[in-house]
Structure 1
Amino acid sequence: MISRLLILGLIGTLFSGAVRAQQASVGEARATAKEAYVYAYAMLENYQTFHKQVVDDKASEYVGGFGRFRHYAQAFTPENRDVVTPNNDTPYSWAWLDLRAEPWVVSVPAVPDERYYVMQWFDLFTHNFAYMGSRTTGNGAGNYLFAGPRWNGSVPEGIRQVFRAETEIVGTLTRTALVGPEDVPNVRAVQRGYRLQPLSEFEAFRPPAPAPSANFPAYDRSKARSEDFIGYLNVLLHFAQPPDPSEVDLMRRFARIGIGPGLPWDKSKLDPALLEAIKAGASDGQAAIDAQAAKTFDSGPLFGTRAFLENDYIRRAMGADKGLYGNSREEAWYGGFVGNGAKLSMMRFAADQLPPARFFWSLTLYTLPDRGLYANTEKRYSLGDRSKGLVYGPDGSLTVYLGHQSPGPSHEANWIPAPQGPYSLVARVYGPKPELLSGQWKLPPLEPVASSERP
């Protein structure tokens, strides 16, 4: 296998000199542009969030730059638009690290055994490369080292585990379980215990020279969905060197249409026929993503490490399209369906068929097509096994009602209000048990409420 050090030595040869787009034929350029567009799709969706949170200090989502947590100590509401399909169970804490100059140390406090939390770390490819929390490292206090692909220093004492990232910029979407509004002070106390320190600060050493300043262009959706996606991709590849051994040949192909780490993208200098081919390839790529999205309903295979995703870039794109920053399936299982709130419907869980969760489960309803929480007078956006007042049948079964119309006073405790039109329901199971991961357990189907059962 080619070593990453050898690859690093070849980078200059691979991408030196002027943009090599003229080497590609028109037909080759279109096919390569399609492949590159699909490859870049998740990365650019991630970049949109990164730019708002780290670069644009005027954005409402700004977290304060690198190396700072921004905590949300309450459940999401319809007004929160940072991400699509936000969960209403675990308030978020966001942070980003620049690993170029030195590693960072992430410290967590001792978290009460009954409280679930997870630190999900993702790279610029959107791979979930590291997990800390209740399932993986436990609820004890500890210090964890995060290092970039080029770091080769020694690990100091007091570090429980080292996580190596493929990219020099990484982010976390950390979730801390919340059990009702009265639990907010407890969540805040846990969040205050999350700490980020450069390695030099952790060791009380003189810090190294800072990394060079970087130019992060503003995110423009129209550019990201056109041939100009190449400009964004080139910026991101600069922070993803050396390439994974499995992608060396892919990067050589991409270089033939002007793609490479840090390369300038100036389409005015391209042959017009070649530029039209690249435009067509980008359009082909988006069409392929749209077609795949129309037939992708199971999100379980969409989130994980590079090894789990097996360089299946359309699958990676689906993860970004269906729910950016979804957890790997070992951490949380996702399922669901699309319904119509104009029709009062229900889901029936037999007593022995409740979601098999090690920690807890929930059902959250979203509007379509924006996939945000639905504003309703009940201010109820989800239900789950931690919901107060949930009514079970005498035999231990559970019926959940979904629709714009109330199911009646006797059933309202089990009702998730919906818009008059289409909606999406997402089931989340935290700490899924083997019967769920194996496919043995299935989410019950949505059934219409019989007229005799309506109020």
Structure 2
Amino acid sequence: MKNSVFLLIVLFLSVTACKKNQSENTKDTADAGISSDSITAIAKQAWIYGYPMFYNYKTMYASAIAKGAKTYVGFNKFKSYSNSATPTDTLVVTINNDTPYSTAAIDVSDEPVILQVPKIEGDRYFVMQFTDLYTFNFEYVGSRVTGNQGGKYLVAGPDWKGETPKGIDKVLHSETNLIFLIGRTELDSPSDVPNLKKIQEQYKLIPLHEYTKQPAPQVKKYNMPLPEWKEADYSSVEFINVLNALLQYTSEDSSEKELRANFAKIGIVPGVPFDSSKYSPETIKAIEKGIAEAKQELDSKLNGLLDSSSLFGTRASLKNNYLNRAIAAAAGLYGNTKEEAVYTGSATDKDKQPLNGNNKYILKFPKGQLPEAKYFWSITMYNLPKRFLVLNPINRYSIGAKTKGLKFEPNGDLIIYLYSESPGKDKESNWLPTPKNQDFNFVLRIYGPQPDVINNVWKMPLPEKVK
């Protein structure tokens, strides 16, 4: 008996000493046999994997966490913008200038929320796009999918298994507990702003317990707090800490088990703080090399991007192509799935030369060659490399099917003038100003694209330099 007790004590002390040794002298698994090349490859993949999550979180942070930000409202609350965007709106790159936003950062960690939308009169286009933390567009409510008759939709996280209350039109399931909701409502003209505001005021997010008139649920606790958003974090090994905090709010898809296991080899584990001091200098250097290689690849792909229409969608449609997901976030975070809206555009002219405001261009759509859209199409101008709207004397940032006074040629062609200065009073109705002494690109958005557009049968013309 004494021997048995003695053995148990020895075993306990051995295990305790082992755990203490691990906690005080932790060496990452990379130091225990993984080559530097493997560490670099894992870090590169993880950086690309996390890139869209990081910049998605930037928007969520400004909306729901950073109380000093002008965009702050808190979680599960709408913030609506009743005017078209201007060059002062720099939170999101390639911002949409046709349909003013109603946005909300949603946290369904504790319970679902109910989205309530009103009946929208006439043929006014609106859409509610649900984007999870990964940046997958997992659901839609709006003119195309659910119609304009209004409704109530329950938005639930991956762990919710409750009963659907009465009056709910549909349950929308997210892979992540953090969600960003991007609502867009068509604005016809400046005189239409009061009507737009009335609609936006009726967009509501209601916590489930309030909807069912029950007590509030227990608050879910996470191991790591949501971090302060710092741009510099994603250029250093600190990106691992940020990623570990964000991954707490996700579910692990079965297709990513091996990927997540590889990430763990360099300390990427949901809810576990990353301490770089416990890793060898060689490992840190290999991780930094992976970050540099990932940045280089992303920049290279981004510079050659011509068509982003297939870069946005569900996990199933994107087929876990993490590089494409990162390219999409860098090119234009919160782009729509192509069935909702197709985006195309260019940063080069017909001769494959960069577009620059020192030159004059025309964009000509021959008769019968405009993009077919159930709702409307528009072209928006952006400066490069920032991808923000372009300050100009007529305060026009986009042009398209809804532009008042747009003129067609006698033969039915439509010509858009891409000039930094006026093309002449008789042509200003078709003028989309470009930035002086700067490179630029433009994005053509097609809302309610028809099959030829969705299937790439229709091709956008490229600008022609005016000699």
Do they fold alike, i.e. is TM over 0.5? yes
Instruction: Give the share of equivalent positions with the same residue, in percent.
Output: 42
Q: Which residue of 1 aligns with 2:113?
A: 104
Partners of 1:295 and 1:363 in 2: CA distance: 20
Distance 1:394 1:238 in 2: 60
Is structure 2 residue 455 aligned with structure 1 residue 438?
yes
Deviations 1:396-447 (A, max 9, x none): 3211100113211111110011112211111000000001111111111211
| 2-structure distance, mates of 1:386, 1:295 | 30
1:418 matched residue in structure 2: 434
User: Which has the higher mean CA deviation after the structures are superposed, 210-219 or 102-111?
Assistant: 210-219
Cα pair 1:21 1:255 within 8 Å, conserved? no
1-structure distance, mates of 2:31, 2:112: 39
1:328 to 337, 340, 355: 337
Which of 112, 131, 135 in structure 1 is aligned with 2:140? 131
Q: Return the offset for 1:21.
A: 4.8
Structure 2: runs of 5+ lacking an equivalent:
1-21, 348-354
Tell me if the contact between 2:397 and 2:432 (Cα under 8 Å) persists in the aligned partners: yes
Q: CA deviation at 1:228?
A: 1.4
Letter in 2 for 1:225: S
Correspondent of 1:207 among 216, 220, 229: 216
For residues 246-325 of structure 1, the aligned pairs below 5 Å read 246-325=255-334
Cα distance in 2, alignment partners of residues 307 and 273 from structure 1: 38
The runs of 5 or more residues in structure 1 that have no matched partner are 1-15, 451-455
1:43-97 Cα offsets, whole Å, 9 max, x none, are: 11111111111111111222x1111100000000111112111111100111011
Correspondence for 1:392: 408
Q: CA deviation at 1:153?
A: 0.8
Q: What's the TM-score, normalizing by structure 1?
A: 0.92
Whole-Å separation in 1 of the counterparts to 2:97 and 2:109: 34
Q: Is the 8 A contact 1:342 1:405 kept in 2?
A: no
Contact 2:71 2:79 (C-alpha < 8 Å) held by counterparts: no
Q: Does the 8 Å contact 2:373/2:448 carry over to 1?
A: yes
Query: Contact 1:96–1:169 at 8 Å: present in 2 too?
Result: yes
Residue from 224, 231, 236 that aligns with 2:241: 231
Tell me, in whole angstroms, the C-alpha distance in 1 between the residues paired with 2:115 and 2:457.
37
In the other structure, the counterpart of 2:127 is 118
> Could you give the per-residue CA deviations for residues 275-309 of structure 1, whole angstroms, max 9, x where no partner exists?
11111111111112112212222101111111111
Distance (whole Å) between structure 2 residues aligned to residue 26 and residue 447 of structure 1: 49
In structure 2, distance between residues paired with 1:370 and 1:274: 33
Where has structure 1 moved over 3 Å in runs of 4 or more? 16-25
Deviation at 1:327, TM superposition (A): 0.7
RMSD, matched Cα: 1.5
Shifted more, 193-202 versus 292-301: the winner is 292-301
Q: Distance in 1 between matches of 2:220 and 2:248?
A: 13
Cα distance in structure 2, aligned partners of 1:354 and 1:40: 38
8 A contact 1:89–1:362 mirrored in 2: yes
User: Match for residue 68 of structure 2?
Assistant: 58
- Please give the alpha-carbon distance, in whole angstroms, between the structure 2 residues aligned to 1:296 and 1:367: 16
Q: 2:396 aligned with 1:373, yes or no?
A: no
Aligned to 2:343, what secondary structure does the other structure show?
Answer: strand
Find the structure with the greater CA-based Rg.
Answer: 2
State the secondary structure of the residue aligned to 2:214.
coil
Whichever residue aligns with residue 59 of structure 2, its letter is T
1:20 shift after superposition: 4.7
Query: C-alpha displacement at 1:273, in angstroms?
Result: 1.2
Q: What is residue 10 of structure 1 aligned with on the other side?
A: none
Aligned partner of 2:9 in structure 1 is none
1:165 aligns with 2:186: no
CA distance in 2, matches of 1:307, 1:401: 40
Q: How many corresponding residue pairs? A: 433
In the alignment, the residues of structure 2 paired with residue 379 and residue 80 of structure 1 have an alpha-carbon distance, to the nearest angstrom, of: 14
Q: Does residue 47 of structure 1 match 2:57?
A: yes
Residue 218 of structure 1 aligns with an amino acid whose one-letter code is E
* Structure 1: distance between partners of 2:335 and 2:94: 10
Which is worse superposed, 353-362 or 343-352? 343-352
| 1:198-231 deviation digits (Å, cap 9, x = unpaired) | 1111111222112337622112222212221101
Partners in 2 of 1:225 and 1:50 — Cα distance? 20
CA distance in 2, matches of 1:225, 1:356: 42
- Verify the 8 A CA contact 1:357 1:433 in the aligned structure 2: yes
2:422 to 406, 409, 416: 406
Structure 2 residue 25 is matched with structure 1 residue 27: no
Structure 1 residue corresponding to 2:378, chosen from 348, 362, 366: 362
TM-score, normalising length: structure 2: 0.90
Tell me the secondary structure at the aligned position of residue 32 of structure 1.
Answer: helix
- Residue 143 (1) aligns with residue 152 (2): yes
